[in-house]
Amino acid sequence: MIAEFRLPDLGEGLPEAEIVQWLVARGDEVTLNQPIAEVETAKAIVELPSPFAGTVSDLHAAAGDVVAVGAPLIAIDVPGDVGALAGAGGAGSADPAGVTRETAADTAAAAADTDATVPNLVGYGAAPRTAGRPQRRARAVRAAAASASASDTAVLAHAPHDVVAPAPTEDLRHERPRSTPPVRAYAKERGVDLALVEASGVTGVIRREDVDRYADAMRAQAASASATAAPGTPGARETRIPIRGVRKHTAAAMVQSAFTAPHVTTFLEVDVTETVRLVADLRADRRLDGHRIGILAVAAKAVCLALRAEPSLNARWDGPAGEIVQFHYVNLGIAAATERGLVVPHIADADRLTLVELADAIGALAQTARSGRSAPGALSGGTFSITNFGVFGIDAGTPILNPGEAGILGLGSVRRRPWEHDGQIVLRDIVTLSLSFDHRLADGQEASRFLRAVGDILREPGRAMLLS
């Protein structure tokens, strides 16, 4: 019996996800909860576990495809009664998350019922789109165009990413291509999807030469397309990059924040020579081997201490309720630049951590963010953020608020500059702090007090730590 797994709502309220890579292929045997794919949402890369044990009969999307929540993702040939397995595996639920039971007899009826939401890993996802779904491979199209030539099938298989195919009158996506195990292994080795290969013999069984013919045709077509319009080739005048994933989410969030919260930015230059010395001493302390304590960790501690005195900067504007929500904890966001774009995961209850614990948390957070493994819960729910301009050699900037937060502190590069100290001009370590804040939640006086408090702690960290 064929069990179909639909893309679940991953608990972030996002309508779609991109297939990063498949961890299984057609014909593979999978076990319950075995990872089957990595998908990228607008916030993180997530592994999807298999809801069933069985044989993979179809993959409904290719790596790089953007799939809507609730759309078919993978079909698994499950031995025995799917309903019995679902009842045994679920806790108070008739079906595992995101699973639809289908047989050859009721495929058409199931396909017609597109208005109902489908159960998934977390809650209920969006109803499948009746107009079709983005495709790169023409699995559904093959059923409606079975009489098309092999060259037509090849063109459909490599249609542009945003092509939406109309729903076919007859859906054969659950029909497993007829081939022998050696041929399936050979096709997998060559990277060929057997669902796209036409059998040349009268028996309808796909052979090695069919796989070779299809692979050669695709290679020739790809070479031809590359020769005519490959982006990034010498002489190309422009390159178009799809807006998706983290960059798409970040852009939307920044536009929303910039045009919703009235931003004000204020600056303060601070002599951080003592903080630089403290960091050097802590790094030289063998008892702290393995704990990389830097100026960012000290600044994070300073922010947590200053927010105690200025709670207006640790708050949220709740317009619909007509209330200002002040937090009695600090979920400190740390902006992290990654290959996928800017993300701001937060450290929960950062105000309860020691300096060493904060340094460890920042290091772990940055490593996880750069690998794309930040948990969805860590990417929302922050109350205040820090962005470190200094790592890029920048002195100052006007950071945009993370949506829903009252303030964000920009930490500039530490510069050795002439500075007045004890009545003399000497070289000191100077940093510029940039504070952007929501003027609905804090006025200039409160923001200035907060920024001076952070500056005072960085100026004399030893004294401040005694009071923490």
The angle formed by the CA atoms of residues 145, 151 and 152, to the nearest 5 degrees, is 35
Q: What is the C-alpha to C-alpha distance for residues 217 and 214, in angstroms, rounded to an integer?
A: 5
List the 2-6 sheet strands across, edge first: 29-30, 54-59, 72-77, 2-6, 99-102
Q: What is the C-alpha to C-alpha distance for residues 111 and 274, in angstroms, rounded to an integer?
A: 68
pLDDT per residue as tens digits for the range 297-352: 999 999 999 999 999 999 999 988 999 999 999 999 999 888 777 889 999 999 99
pLDDT at 235 (0 to 100): 66
Residue 342, classed as helix, strand or coil, is: strand
Helix extents (H) in 310-341 = none
pLDDT per residue as tens digits for the range 426-439: 999 999 999 999 99
Q: What global pTM score does this model have? A: 0.56
Helices 444-459, 295-309: axis angle to 10 degrees equals 140
pLDDT per residue as tens digits for the range 44-89: 778 889 998 999 999 998 888 888 888 998 999 998 765 444 443 3
**Active-site residue numbers?**
439
Domains and CATH numbers, the chain: 2-134 (2.40.50.100), 246-467 (3.30.559.10)
Residue 57, classed as helix, strand or coil, is: strand
Q: What is the C-alpha to C-alpha distance for residues 416 and 427, in angstroms, rounded to an integer?
A: 6
Q: Compute φ and ψ for 143, nearest 5 degrees.
A: -65, -35
Residue 2, classed as helix, strand or coil, is: strand
Q: What is the C-alpha to C-alpha distance for residues 199 and 214, in angstroms, rounded to an integer?
A: 10
Question: 45 with 12: CB under 8 angstroms?
Answer: no
